[in-house]
Structure 1
Amino acid sequence: MGRNGLGSGPGSGVGADLGIGLGIGRLGLWWQLRRAAGQNGAAAPDIPQGAGPLLLVHVSPDARVAFSQVQRRLMRARPDLRILELADPSAPAAETLMRAGPAALLLLGSDLPPALVNAAGRRDLPIILAEARFAPEDAGWSLRALARRELLRPIRAVLVTDPASHATALRMGADRRRVAMTGPVAEIRDPLPCSEAERSILAQLLRGRHAWLAASVPPDEEEAVLAAHHAALAQSHRALLFLAPRDPDRIDPLADRIEASGLVVARRSLDEDPSDDVHVMLTDGPTEMGLWYRLAPVTYLGGTLGGDDGAARHPFEPAALGSAIVHGPHTDRFATEWQQLGGAGAARQVGSPEELAAAIAELSQPDLIATLASNAWTVSTGGADVTIRICAPVLDAIGKAKP
């Protein structure tokens, strides 16, 4: 006999541990279902009318953006599709839903509603889990973790957002052939518009000058931006700064301050042009941003250096229009998007005014700008690709469903 009275024969070791884990997992799932049965879970909603296939969808709170994009793409592919979004149903409600003959169940986010997954799994209904994020404790041995492992077993496709979640899903026992990393569904933003006539005229005036944009700059970052432009001028004496102050009332005081430092200023509000002798073009604040992003190969997004990112512009705005992005460490407002850009080498982060100046001076080199801008464009449009990858197994399951 081994320690604790366990034998060392064929039934012990890793196999025994797995068997014990599976048994406890089933116990944990039974406990979750039992607890849910004693609570007032959501009742079965009305089934959408129509002759098309029925898709059940459960959306976690962190997957609302994903759902809106997935829903649009699915409906474009199958206009007859009936999509029923569900809350966490009670066990009787889940059974009622199964009797409606759904073609598949799509789970968006990290929640695994026990009654719904259990009912679908017992009927071998295709279950697709997408936009999934797993925490390290999901691979642990707590009752909750083991119950989640059990819920993962009948899921046919597990599409996760990041490498850590991919590794955790495998440690939870998910079949490697069913797990794929897609990345998260990012919000797809239409490129900001501009007047093509204005863009063409201004582009001709620039005639190859190195230009960069400081967008939505708060007052406490103005000095850092101007110091960065002096560094750019030292690198390229024809460098041009498009400066978009967050507060349009700062335009005139800024013009006086810049001119006092020896630089030549043009103001969009006075219909002045960025002629060859102009060093700084003051825009009309937050207006015409689509124009400035198109004209500036490099954009610094204001508010991210000094910590006032509450009114910072969305980073996919310049990314979608081919402008390389520089930003500070304060990125809470669009944390997911900044994480995607940083992970893809699609943005340059700086931590101080001195680092901003160095980055702007360095990014006068076209090859560095092109790499950043290309990576950023790929990330900003990648939400469409991730959405396609999520919809593919859903449409496959629907196509194979019996009429």
Structure 2
Amino acid sequence: MGKGGWGIGRLGLWMQLRRMAGQDSPPAPEIPQGPGPLLLVHVAADARLAFAQVQRRLMRARPDLRILDPGDPGPQAANALMRADPAALLLLGSDLPPVLISAASRHEVPVILAEARFAPDDAGWSLHARRRRELLRQARAILVTDPASQAIALRMGAGRKRVAMTGPVAEIRDPLPCSEAERSIMAGLLRGRHAWLAASVPPDEEDAVLDAHLAALAQSHRALLFLAPRDPDRIDPLAARIESGGLVVARRSLDEDPTDDVHVMLTDGPTEMGLWYRLAPVTYLGGTLSGDDAAARHPFEPAALGSAIVHGPRTERFATEWQQLGGAGAARQVGSPDELATAIAELSQPDLIATLASNAWTVSTGGADVTMRICAPVLDAIGKPRP
């Protein structure tokens, strides 16, 4: 970026700030009381989840920390906030609030940008893009969510030492519980059988799941399907239908066990999911083929419990998490019922299952690591607690 580019961006930012100075704005919010350091946080709409997790991690490290989200204050309010001597300004998301950043820069308050996503237009030549580049120049650390944003940040003129890719903050979920005694008994009954789970299956995907199990049986005649219908009222009609096709069914609702002759174990719908994820090395997450995701399960549920994941193309409900899993080779996407059948048959191979499951576990537990990487420069700016 040449000097002329910076000059236009600086001039454009100055004009924008001057325009805003003439507008009415609310007074500065009340500063939280206490002896600990003050951290100003600006949270964009797309970073609410990140803020919740970052806040928990920061407060765990510094219980005396005072955190204030002032919103989008006017110039006078921003200057008043800076006179309260904040230790740092943390920006979460892709917004670059000009008033806050400029006030922090003038008062030598470190600016840290995290959970940032940039678009190709940000590296363009419009006045808006040049203003954003000028604002980005004032950030001490720039933590982006993806390789494309990292490349754009560099094209915007951010120095390589200031830009790091952390990945997005994903929800940190505790593994679903189950009865260990029940799991041990069930695992003993399976005795090495290839088992897979179809979780929260809507009615219009039942045919695809059953056809996939027939493909699995052709590959391994002892294969067992744990079928968790989205609607528990479907259990009895499904049992009758499956048995009419020549397969043997056990029903959890009747306390029946998956003995050697059972081909399909019908669970109690959405209950005991922690048990089925632990027993099934492979999980298909229902609703992702048809888009009927009214009761779709979170993909980190099976991932956190070591079950390899198969899914369809309809992943809108947990788009960020699916993006993470896909980028890490941690899930297998299928586009049709035929592809589901092929995938389930192929995933009877232990080495394929192990690779997917390991990658998925790494992604599902990685939210904690991303959160820690965001907190690190903030804690460095705040400094160590006083003795």
TM range (shorter): over 0.9
In the alignment, what sits opposite 1:14? none
Q: 1:252 aligns with which of 201, 217, 236?
A: 236
Pairing of 1:144-183 with structure 2 (within 5 A): 144-183=128-167
In the alignment, what sits opposite 1:315? 299
The amino acid that maps onto 1:157 is: A
CA distance, structure 1, for counterparts of residue 314 and residue 15 of structure 2: 43
Q: Which runs of 5+ in 1 are unaligned?
A: 1-16
SS at match of 1:310: coil
In the alignment, is residue 214 of structure 1 matched against residue 214 of structure 2?
no
In the alignment, is residue 386 of structure 1 matched against residue 370 of structure 2?
yes
- Radius of gyration: which is bigger? 1
Q: 1:373 aligns with which of 347, 354, 357?
A: 357
Pairing of 1:334-349 with structure 2 (within 5 A): 334-349=318-333
Cα distance, 1:18 vs structure 2? 1.3
CA distance, structure 1, for counterparts of residue 298 and residue 35 of structure 2: 41
Aligned residues: 387
In the alignment, is residue 120 of structure 1 matched against residue 104 of structure 2?
yes
Pairing of 1:183-194 with structure 2 (within 5 A): 183-194=167-178
**Contact 2:62/2:385 (8 A) holds in 1:** no
In the alignment, is residue 261 of structure 1 matched against residue 210 of structure 2?
no
Report Cα offsets for 1:222-272 as digits up to 9, x if no partner.
011000000000111100000000011100000000000000000000000
Q: Structure 1's 95 and 220: CA in aligned 2 closer, same or farther, altered over 3 A?
A: same
SS at match of 1:326: strand
CA distance, structure 2, for counterparts of residue 228 and residue 388 of structure 1: 41
The amino acid that maps onto 2:146 is: D
Cα distance, 1:306 vs structure 2? 1.4
In the alignment, what sits opposite 2:207? 223
SS at match of 1:86: coil
CA distance, structure 2, for counterparts of residue 247 and residue 162 of structure 1: 37
Report Cα offsets for 1:306-361 as digits up to 9, x if no partner.
12123211101101111000000111111111111000000000011110000000
Q: TM-score, normalised by structure 1?
A: 0.94
Cα distance, 1:152 vs structure 2? 1.0
CA distance, structure 1, for counterparts of residue 324 and residue 19 of structure 2: 38
In the alignment, what sits opposite 1:398? 382
CA distance, structure 2, for counterparts of residue 314 and residue 36 of structure 1: 43
Q: 1:204 aligns with which of 181, 188, 200?
A: 188
In the alignment, is residue 74 of structure 1 matched against residue 62 of structure 2?
no
Q: CA RMSD in A?
A: 1.3
- Share of identical aligned residues, percent? 84
